[in-house]
Every structure is written in structure tokens, then in C-alpha cells.
Amino acid sequence: MRPPHADPSSAKINSRPGPAPKRRRNVNIREVILKKAIFAGAIAALLSSTAAFAQMDELRIMAPAAPGGGWDQTARTIQSVIQAEGLASNIQVENVAGAGGTIGLQQFVNQSTGDPSATIVGGYVMVGAIIANNAPVTLADVTPIARLTGEYVVVVAPTDSEIENAEDLAEAMRADPGSVTWGGGSAGGVDHIAAGIFAQTADVDPRGLNYIPFSGGGEALAAILGGQVTVGISGYSEFAAQIEAGELKVIGITAPEPQDYVDAPTFVDQGFDVDVQNWRMIAAAPDITEEERAQLTETIRTMSESEAWANELETRGWVNTYLDGEEFQTYLQEEIEATTAILSELGISQ
């Protein structure tokens, strides 16, 4: 018996296959939420980073030395790389020379307190100069940001000098320490310390070292080329052009092993244990906020990781020694303590 209202013709029509039903996609709600959260986080981070760099509209860098020296070169290299990388729009460098950077440091502290756009470059030279000059302002009065580079020290002489190597220099000092004049950076700085250590290793009392300090590399270079001093001592970058031009010859470099950027023997290879590296840093003004410090640190870190910065280091013979945060603060304190001991031993500190 057919079901009520059944019709053979309708049954036949209804038996035709219809369109296949759409298969419902199995949606993982947790996965969707997670992806949205990750996407939102990435956008937020990007906006935050962009905003942070956009706020660096102005950056002022004090080079506490005369133009032409290592600090001046460091400040202007930072300026050019940050501009090239678009990390700040308006960057200016100011030179304030004198007393191993302590005059500039005091001015910086007095005039820049609380200013997040103010920075100052410094380094090992400044550590020694503060101690040697008993400076009223120290690195404890600024906000350390990062150690940037390291550079070994070279001792040079005019090409027509009778001094050809480290042994010649040692013999001249043993004969008459006062007759050998050294032209370098400020008293108590890395140049002065390296010269004093050489004197020690040459069996000469470093207290009799005839060291003439100059406020910048340009002044020291002029004295060396003009025959006003026997030898010059500073970072390789300050003498590089004259060395390559054949106007100066390298007596030795204070590296533990030969360096690719200069064809010169080390003092260690010549039998004199002089291993000294001049590191450079950048610091911010006193009393800036933690947010401002973090922003500046991120800007400098980004600069240090750029290809443009790496190219500058290679060109100038600087070693990448980047260090920031608490590790750099600890390192800085250790360097201050070690330098205090060295200067006391060499009779350089007052």
C-alpha cells in the first residue's frame, strides 16, 4: 500500500540526486584566537618601535675633545650611521676639548641633566683622565648606555726617524728616558697608560716618562710630523692616512696578535708585553627616565647591528665590542677600579 499522497511520478522526481551538501569546515576556535593575538601583538610591537624611533627627532652628541681625534670620529660616525638608518632626523655633534674629556663631561652634566636628546661619547681615556685630574664630575654622574668599539694603540715615528722598532725605542729610553718624548692623548688616558707599561717592560721607571699630552689627535699628529716629539701614540685610525701615505711608520701595536688592518708588528711579538685596548662608549644625560634610557639604548643597539656600522668599523680598524645594560655598567665599574690601580702603580695619578 502506498503511503498517503504518494505519487509514482513525484517519487521518481524526488529520487533524482540533488546537489551535494556543502561540507562544514571544522574550525579550531583556539587556533583562530591565537593567530589574531599574534597578529595584534606584531602590529603593536611594530607601532611601538616605530613610535619610539619617531620620537628621536633630535639627538645631540658631545665629543669631549678637539676635532680629528678618536672621540670626534666616533661621534661623527654615530651621526652618519644613525642618519643613514633613519633612526633620528636631526643629529648634531658638538666638540668641547680639554683635560681628557673631563671639561666636556662637567659641562655636559651641568647643562644636560634630564635631557633625553643629549649624549656624550667617552671611554677608557676618560676613565683615566678623571682619576688623574681628580675631576669633580665622574662617570657616576651620567647615564651609561653602551660600550661601542675597541681600538688598539699604535706607536709611530716619522719615516726618517732612527727608531725602527720596539727595541730601538727601549734602548733610547734606557740611555736617557727624558730625551724620548711621547706625544699622545690626555694625561692618564690609554695612550699615557700604554706608554707607561712599555716603559715598565723596557726596564725603565715609568715615573721618568717624558709624556706630552695633547687635547686631540690632530694636535698630536702635527707635533709628530713636525718633529716636536720623538714618537706618537694613539689609536690606529688617527694615524691611518699618514701611515698609508708613508709619512709615518709603525713601531708597534698594543694588540696580542697581528691585526689585518695594519701591516705592523705587535709589541708582544717583539718581546714587550704591552696589551692595551682603547674602548669607547656613549652615555646619556643624568636623571633621564627609564623609558627614555630604554629608547636610546634600543636606538644605539639598532645602529650597532646595521651593515653601515659594520662597514665603518672595518674601514677604521675598530673592533666591535658592543655591550649595554647591566653588563656594561658592571664592566665600567671594573674598569674604573682597575685603572685606578694601574695609574697608582705608574705614578700617573695625582
Domain ranges, residue 204: 152-277
313-345 pLDDT per residue, tens: 988 878 899 999 999 999 999 999 988 988 887
CATH number of the domain bearing residue 299: 3.40.190.150
* 144 and 283 housed in the same domain: yes
Q: Are residues 244 and 293 in the same domain?
A: no
Q: Please compute the mean of the pLDDT values over residues 186-212 and round it to a whole number.
A: 91
Last residue of a domain, one of 221, 254, 277: 277
Give me the pLDDT at residue 5, please.
Answer: 41
Average pLDDT value for the chain:
85
169 and 268 co-located in one domain: yes
Q: Are residue 241 and residue 199 in the same domain, yes or no?
A: yes
pLDDT digits (tens, 9 = 90+) for 236-260: 888 999 999 999 999 999 999 998 8
Same domain, 284 and 212: no
Taking the C-alpha atoms of residue 93 and residue 77, their distance in angstroms, rounded to an integer, is 10
State what percent of residues in the chain have pLDDT above 70.
Answer: 83
Residue 16 lies in a domain: no
- For residues 18-40, give the mean pLDDT: 49
Same domain? For 160 and 208 the reply is yes
Between strands 118-123 and 181-184, the pairing is: unpaired
Q: Within this chain, do residues 320 and 335 fall inside the same structural domain, yes or no?
A: yes
pTM: 0.69
Domains of the chain: total: 2
Closest listed residue to residue 345, CA positions, set 208, 189, 207:
207
Tell me the per-residue pLDDT of 72-94, one tens digit each, with 9 for 90 and over. Answer: 999 999 999 999 999 998 999 99
Q: How far is CA 172 from the centre of its chain?
A: 36
Dihedral (CA of 74, 135, 322, 59) sign? negative
Q: How far is residue 133's CA from residue 344's CA, in Å, rounded to a whole number?
A: 13
In a domain, 314, yes or no: yes
- Written as one letter, the residue type at 203 is D
The enclosing domain of 220 has a CATH number of: 3.40.190.10
Are residues 121 and 188 part of one domain? Answer: no
Residue 189: its pLDDT value, please? 81
